[in-house]
């Protein structure tokens, strides 16, 4: 039961020998695997710390490489937790559906399965869901965007590796994956300028701007701040619950007052522009900040939802392998770069 001589690297087998545990048990405990009793995990961690154990990065890389080369056998389940909305309502949003499909595809490639759970079902509450996930051996959770801003989730986060999509969950603060909404807004304005447009305005609503942490409006501000004052157009941000006639009147006044030749907006807002009586692109160009396959005629930014969903799985699986559970002390933001897509709604004006 003696530790290795001074100067010798402490290995998992050394820890296992001293603790009279199996090599596999110690390895899983160091990864904080919930299949190992909490008391045993704490005992292993204490011994590892006191003996100076450090994981070998080369061996970890080799293990990851070997795992990648193996056929995709089943390794476990990742929970996709819907909060206060039906599956149909969430996946009817093209970007969110891409998140889900990209996550399922990548999980399958890595030997995992995505299972859906609904935290707001009549007989379901967050503590009960935590118990169910633990009983089923679920170690990872993906949280899609919340149905509204300011929601909180009170689960046994210490049991799970968790990644959230977007910024709509108020608490707790998990690692987040999102598109580079700030950079995408700048890209959209720059591309429109290169196409010959000079008077570019941002049209959105306050609720959506809050849900995206103000990234879209901040990007528009940055992209236009150095333009001549005559070309700086204040954004039009309506309220989601505004009455339609009032919103239509605001749109018409905004377009006329600022002589706008291009509008940047998110999907759905372009419908209000046509309801206000404008023809696109005859009256002005339109670029969507989150254009999808359903809107192929529209120019704008492809947020690459499939890749975002896949990247979320990559990160949560990595957390599982590293034994990272619970609410992170320093949450990380993973950002997926968007791509400009040409479309009929923003024809080139430059000769």
pLDDT in tens, 270-318: 999 999 999 999 999 999 998 877 677 899 999 999 999 999 999 999 9
Distance CA 317, CA 103 (A): 11
Looking at the fold, whether 81 and 167 belong to one and the same domain comes out as yes
Residue that finishes a domain, picked among 21, 52, 69 = 69
When the pLDDT of each residue in the chain is averaged and rounded to a whole number, the result is 86
Answer yes or no: is 345 within a domain. no
Answer yes or no: is 4 within a domain. no
Residues 80, 139: contact at Cβ < 8 Å?
Answer: no
How many domains are there within the chain? Answer: 3
Answer yes or no: is 351 within a domain. no
The total of other beta-carbon atoms located within 10 Å of residue 48's CB is 20
Q: pLDDT at residue 106 above 90?
A: yes
pLDDT in tens, 115-142: 999 887 777 777 889 999 999 999 999 9
State whether residue 333 is helix, strand or coil: strand
Looking at the fold, whether 244 and 280 belong to one and the same domain comes out as yes
Joined together, the tokens standing for residue 167 give 């910024």
Q: pLDDT at residue 5 above 70?
A: no
φ, ψ (nearest 5 deg) of residue 56: -80, 115
pLDDT in tens, 29-75: 777 676 778 788 888 888 888 887 877 655 555 555 555 555 556 67
Q: pLDDT at residue 1 above 70?
A: no
- Which residue in 264, 305, 310, 265 sits closest to 94, CA to CA? 305
Residue 224 confidence (pLDDT): 94
Residue 2 confidence (pLDDT): 47
Residues 204, 266: contact at Cβ < 8 Å?
Answer: yes
**What H or E segment, with its residue span, contains residue 204?**
strand 200-205
Looking up residue 260, the CATH number of its domain turns out to be 3.40.50.2300
Answer yes or no: is 6 within a domain. no
Q: Residue 289: which residues within 8 A CB-CB, separation 6 or more?
A: 181, 184, 185, 188, 216, 264, 265, 266, 300, 301
Looking at the fold, whether 94 and 83 belong to one and the same domain comes out as yes
Answer yes or no: is 222 within a domain. yes
Answer yes or no: is 50 within a domain. yes
Looking at the fold, whether 158 and 191 belong to one and the same domain comes out as no
pLDDT in tens, 6-19: 556 778 888 888 88
Percent residues over pLDDT 90 in the chain: 54
Q: pLDDT at residue 263 above 50?
A: yes
Distance CA 228, CA 71 (A): 59
Residue 40 confidence (pLDDT): 85
Looking at the fold, whether 116 and 265 belong to one and the same domain comes out as no
Residues 250, 236: contact at Cβ < 8 Å?
Answer: yes
Looking at the fold, whether 113 and 210 belong to one and the same domain comes out as no
Looking at the fold, whether 114 and 213 belong to one and the same domain comes out as no
Answer yes or no: is 199 within a domain. yes
Looking at the fold, whether 136 and 202 belong to one and the same domain comes out as no
Residue 236 to residues 105, 249, 278: CA-CA distances in angstroms?
39, 12, 16
Looking at the fold, whether 187 and 174 belong to one and the same domain comes out as no
Distance CA 177, CA 316 (A): 11
Interval 255-263 mean pLDDT: 96
Distance CA 44, CA 13 (A): 12
Looking at the fold, whether 157 and 109 belong to one and the same domain comes out as yes
| pTM of the model as a whole | 0.77
Distance CA 258, CA 230 (A): 9
Looking at the fold, whether 195 and 298 belong to one and the same domain comes out as yes
Interval 202-222 mean pLDDT: 91
Distance CA 228, CA 336 (A): 31
Answer yes or no: is 344 within a domain. no
**What H or E segment, with its residue span, contains residue 11?**
none
Residue 189 confidence (pLDDT): 97
Of 83 and 203, the structure prediction assigns the larger pLDDT to 203
- Domain encompassing residue 135: 76-179+307-337
Looking at the fold, whether 212 and 65 belong to one and the same domain comes out as no
Residue that finishes a domain, picked among 69, 103, 118 = 69
Distance CA 168, CA 146 (A): 6
State whether residue 79 is helix, strand or coil: strand
């Amino acid at each position: 039961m003696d530790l290795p001589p001074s100067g010798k690297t402490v290995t998992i087998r050394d820890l296992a020998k001293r603790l009279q545990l199996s090599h596999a048990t110690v390895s899983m405990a160091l990864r904080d695997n919930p299949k190992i009793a909490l008391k045993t995990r704490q005992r292993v961690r204490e011994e590892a710390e006191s003996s100076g154990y450090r994981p070998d990065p080369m061996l970890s890389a080799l293990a990851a490489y070997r795992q990648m080369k193996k056929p995709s056998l089943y390794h476990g389940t990742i929970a996709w937790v819907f909060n206060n909305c039906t599956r149909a309502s969430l996946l009817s949003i093209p970007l969110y559906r891409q998140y889900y499909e990209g996550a399922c595809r990548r999980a399958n490639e890595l030997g995992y399965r995505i299972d859906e759970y609904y935290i707001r079902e009549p007989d379901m509450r967050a503590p009960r869901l935590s118990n169910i996930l633990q009983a089923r051996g679920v170690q990872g959770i993906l949280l899609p965007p919340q149905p509204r801003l300011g929601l909180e989730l009170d689960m046994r986060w210490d049991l799970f590796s968790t990644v959230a999509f977007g910024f709509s969950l108020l608490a707790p603060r998990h690692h987040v994956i999102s598109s580079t909404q700030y950079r995408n807004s700048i890209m959209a304005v720059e591309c429109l300028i290169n196409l010959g447009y000079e008077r570019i305005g941002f049209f959105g609503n306050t609720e959506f701007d809050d849900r995206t942490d103000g990234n879209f409006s901040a990007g528009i501000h940055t992209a236009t701040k150095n333009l001549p004052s005559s070309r700086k157009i204040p954004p039009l941000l309506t309220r989601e619950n505004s009455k339609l006639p009032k919103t239509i009147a605001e749109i018409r006044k905004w377009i006329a007052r600022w002589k706008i030749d291009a509008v940047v907006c998110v999907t759905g807002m372009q419908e209000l522009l046509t309801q206000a009586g404008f023809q696109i692109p005859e009256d002005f160009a339109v670029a969507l900040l989150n254009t999808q396959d359903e809107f192929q005629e529209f120019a704008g930014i492809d947020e690459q939802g499939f890749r975002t969903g896949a990247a979320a799985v990559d990160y949560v699986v990595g957390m599982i392998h590293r034994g990272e559970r619970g609410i992170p002390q320093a949450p990380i933001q993973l950002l997926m770069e968007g791509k400009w897509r040409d479309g009929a709604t923003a024809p080139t004006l430059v000769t």
